[in-house]
């Protein structure tokens, strides 16, 4: 059985640590310090590092980690990295034999152009693409690209556990509730997340099913959302998405 642990880093990042009690893999180690600390405390052996995209808060711990533990690093083929790594592209299968884990690479451009997610049912590590009740900013890609990437993730099974790289959920929920104040699933999720955050627990993982019911960026075909944005019935979901993403930038 695999266990997924959050390693909080910086203000609101999570470095996810996948482990089976002996071996570990980390996703997006932006900071080496807290990873070293957990590995030493737990006696876990680092086997690999997975990178979703090239932003500093996701990669800045890599060089320090591999200088102590020379493990393979997997990173998107479409981005530049100045550390040794195995480039990965859409459809690639990564076999992590020590953990008996096979992950499929999904290219999900939008936040950055080469951004990838790592998927092994029921686990999804999606970096800064899909957040709980939100989505990543468009640093490099277009709204159209991000919309397509999110649509692709939305088609994964409803019980897929979504491990995003940031704790943005409460802020995202406030935005979502302005668009859909009567959405009961959203109201319930807000109560749950308030309790979790008050207890200093992560609001993650979320699930694809929960996101389909609550995340406005996955609900661009929803009438209430279109009405809140004063958009006509014929507005295509990609256009609703573009407008939503722009509104959220200034929220
Ligand atoms: Fe980030």
**Tens of pLDDT along 117-146?**
999 999 999 999 999 999 999 999 999 999
Q: How far is the CA of 57 from the centre of ligand 1 (A)?
A: 6
Q: Would you say domain 3-168+203-211 falls under CATH 3.60.15.10?
A: yes
Cβ–Cβ contacts within 10 Å for residue 16, how many? 23
The HSE-up count of residue 230 (CA atoms within 13 Å, CB side) is 1
Q: What is the pLDDT of residues 150-197, one digit of tens each?
A: 999 999 999 999 999 999 999 999 999 999 999 999 999 999 999 999
What is the reported pLDDT for 110? Answer: 98
CA of 168 relative to ligand 1 center, distance in Å: 11
Ion ligand 1 nearby residues (CB, 5 A): 55, 57, 128
**Mean local confidence (pLDDT), 31-56:** 98
Which residue reads 């507005």 in tokens?
235
Average pLDDT, the chain: 98
pTM of full prediction above 0.85: yes
How far apart (Å, rounded) are the C-alpha atoms in residues 106 and 121?
13
Q: 234 CA to middle of ligand 1, Å?
A: 34
Burial of 51 (0-12, 13-18, 19+ CB in 10 A): buried
User: How large a percentage of the chain has pLDDT more than 90?
Assistant: 100
Q: Can you tell me the distance from the alpha carbon of 9 to that of 59, in angstroms, rounded to the nearest whole number? A: 12
Whole-number Å distance, alpha carbon 12 to ligand 1 midpoint, is: 9
Say how many Å lie between the CA of residue 235 and the centre of ligand 1.
Answer: 30
Q: What is the mean pLDDT of residues 85-103?
A: 98
Average pLDDT for 196-213: 98
DSSP category for residue 186: H
Closest CA to 54 of 17, 25, 78, 79: 79
Distance 136 CA to ligand 1 centre (A): 8
Q: How confident is the model at residue 99 (pLDDT cuts 50, 70, 90)?
A: very high
Distance from Cα 166 to the centre of ligand 1, integer Å: 7
Edge-to-edge strands of the sheet including 161-164? 93-96, 101-107, 116-120, 123-127, 161-164, 206-207
Span from the CA of 60 to the centroid of ligand 1 (angstroms): 11
Cα(13) to ligand 1 centroid in Å equals 7
pLDDT of amino acid 26: 98
Q: How far is the CA of 227 from the centre of ligand 1 (A)?
A: 31
Provide the pLDDT for residue 2.
97
The domain limits of the chain are: 3-168+203-211
What residue ranges in the chain does DSSP mark as E strands? 3-9, 13-19, 23-27, 45-50, 73-76, 86-88, 93-96, 101-107, 116-120, 123-127, 130-131, 134-135, 161-164, 206-207
Task: Give the pair of three-digit tokens for residue 81.
Answer: 């990295």
pLDDT at site 64: 98
């Amino acid at each position: 059985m695999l266990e997924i642990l959050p390693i909080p880093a910086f203000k609101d990042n999570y470095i996810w640590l996948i482990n089976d009690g002996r071996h570990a893999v980390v996703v997006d180690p932006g900071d080496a310090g807290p990873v070293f600390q957990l590995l030493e405390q737990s006696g876990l052996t680092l086997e690999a590092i997975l990178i979703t995209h090239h932003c500093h808060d996701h990669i800045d711990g890599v060089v320090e980690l591999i200088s102590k533990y020379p493990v393979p690093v997997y990173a998107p083929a479409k981005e530049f990295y100045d550390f040794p790594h195995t480039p990965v592209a859409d459809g690639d299968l990564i076999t992590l034999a020590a953990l008996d884990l096979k992950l499929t690479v999904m290219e999900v451009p939008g936040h950055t152009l080469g951004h990838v997610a790592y998927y092994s049912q029921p686990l999804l590590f999606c970096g800064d693409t899909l957040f709980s009740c939100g989505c990543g900013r468009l640093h490099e890609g277009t709204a159209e690209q991000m919309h397509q990437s999110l649509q692709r993730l939305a088609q994964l099974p409803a019980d897929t556990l979504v491990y995003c790289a940031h704790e943005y959920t409460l802020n995202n929920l406030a935005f979502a509730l302005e668009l859909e104040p009567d959405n009961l699933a959203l109201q319930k999720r807000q109560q749950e997340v308030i309790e979790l955050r008050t207890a200093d627990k992560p609001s993650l993982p979320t699930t694809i099913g929960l996101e389909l019911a609550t995340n406005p960026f996955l609900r661009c075909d929803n009438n209430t959302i279109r009405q809140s944005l004063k958009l006509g019935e014929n507005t295509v979901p990609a256009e609703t998405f573009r407008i939503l993403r722009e509104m959220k930038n200034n929220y």
